Structure 1
Amino acid sequence: MERTYTTPHEREPIVKRWPQGPRSVPLARRALREALDDWGLRDLQDAASLVLSELLTNAVRHGRVPGREIETRFVSNPVGLRIEVHDASEHRPLMALPAPDAGGGWGLPLVDTLSEKWGVCDREGPGKLVWAELTAEPDSGHS
């Protein structure tokens, strides 16, 4: 039996697992864009795609644990979207502003700028989850 949803934030989270490689990032972005289309949250696509790219790239680069995959969860909520990236590494990301001429290190400051809030917390099982919440425009289907 197909479930009928009365509001966008009642939709089931979309949970996917990805190999620990850079090819997972564009595949996850595509899955996110499809979810946002389905949920009527197209206005969040650009910012959400960048946030997901940064969080998932960090997990691929710094959260590798042999034999483990990385999990993403996209959750529609009453005000917008929550993105979660789960990995099995205990290494927690720290945000620091890089030097102006640095070639990298801008990922978490970008996440901080684009999201309403973000953080890192323990998860069930080994490792951590890094999350970010983005707020939709009032006319994007969330009331």
Structure 2
Amino acid sequence: MNRDCDQHMKLRLPRHPRSVGRAREALLGWMGLPGELGETAALLLSELVTNALRHGSPPGREIVVTVSRGDGLLRLEVEDAGETLPRPRTPDPIDECGRGLALVAALADDWGVAGRQGPGKRVWVTLKAPDY
């Protein structure tokens, strides 16, 4: 884990289900986010990491989580080596999955997908964190 002046954290994680919990613990431990902001950030990060594990990086590749704060914003980014871009979808009511990006869109102040150095993509979300 890399930290820079308490404004930036970068974490490299293996393509393993336990990485979701490790990312969430690192976020909450490092940031000390209060109440609802912490819960929302942890949920959003969990969704992004889960998507990267399920649909992103091929076996044997790491995912990279970056968290930064500044100018009243908290930014969460998850990079993976997969080429498939995330697409929100409308699942049937009985589907057990497929709601992650709808949740991200509903809870984040903004979100998107960007390129990254090397193969793959970076999926990011921002949350307003003015008095934190």
TM-score by length of structure 2 reads 0.89
- Secondary structure of 2:67 counterpart: strand
- How many matched pairs? 127
Q: Which has the higher contact order (CA 8 A, sep 6+)?
A: 1
Which stretch has the larger CA shift, 61-70 or 107-116? 61-70
Greater share of strand = 2
Residue among 106, 109, 121 paired with 2:102: 109
Contact 2:108 2:126 in 1 (8 A): yes
* Deviation at residue 75 of structure 1 after TM alignment: 0.5
What secondary structure sits across from 1:100 in the alignment? coil
Distance 2:19 2:112 in 1: 22
C-alpha distance in 1 between matches for 2:127 and 2:94: 28
Who is 1:53 aligned against? 46
Q: Work out which of the two has the higher radius of gyration on C-alpha atoms and give 1 or 2.
A: 1
2:67 aligns to what?
74
2:122 is aligned to 129
Structure 1 position 19 matched with structure 2 position 28: no
Separation in 2 of the partners of 1:88 and 1:64? 5
Rounded to whole Å, the distance in 2 between the matches of 1:62 and 1:94 is: 11
Q: What root-mean-square deviation, in Å, do the aligned CA atoms of Structure 1 and Structure 2 show?
A: 1.4
- Alpha-carbon separation, structure 2, partners of 1:119 and 1:89: 16
Shift of 1:117: 0.6
Match for residue 84 of structure 2? Answer: 91
Distance 2:45 2:75 in 1: 10
Alignment partner, residue 34 of structure 2: 42
**Cα offset, 1:34, TM superposition:** 1.2
Query: How far apart are 1:77 and its partner, in Å?
Result: 1.9
> Following the alignment from structure 1 to structure 2, what is the Cα–Cα distance between the partners of residues 19 and 88?
12
- Choose from 20, 23, 26 the match for 1:28: 23
**Which SS does the other structure have where 1:61 is aligned?**
helix
**SS of match in other structure, 1:59:** helix
- Quote the Cα distance in structure 1 between the aligned partners of 2:102 and 2:70: 24
TM-score normalised per structure 1: 0.83
How many angstroms apart in 2 are the aligned matches of 1:87 and 1:134? 21
Residue 42 (structure 1) shift:
1.7
> Which segments of 5 or more consecutive residues in structure 2 lack a partner in the other structure?
none
Unaligned runs of 5+ in 1: 6-10
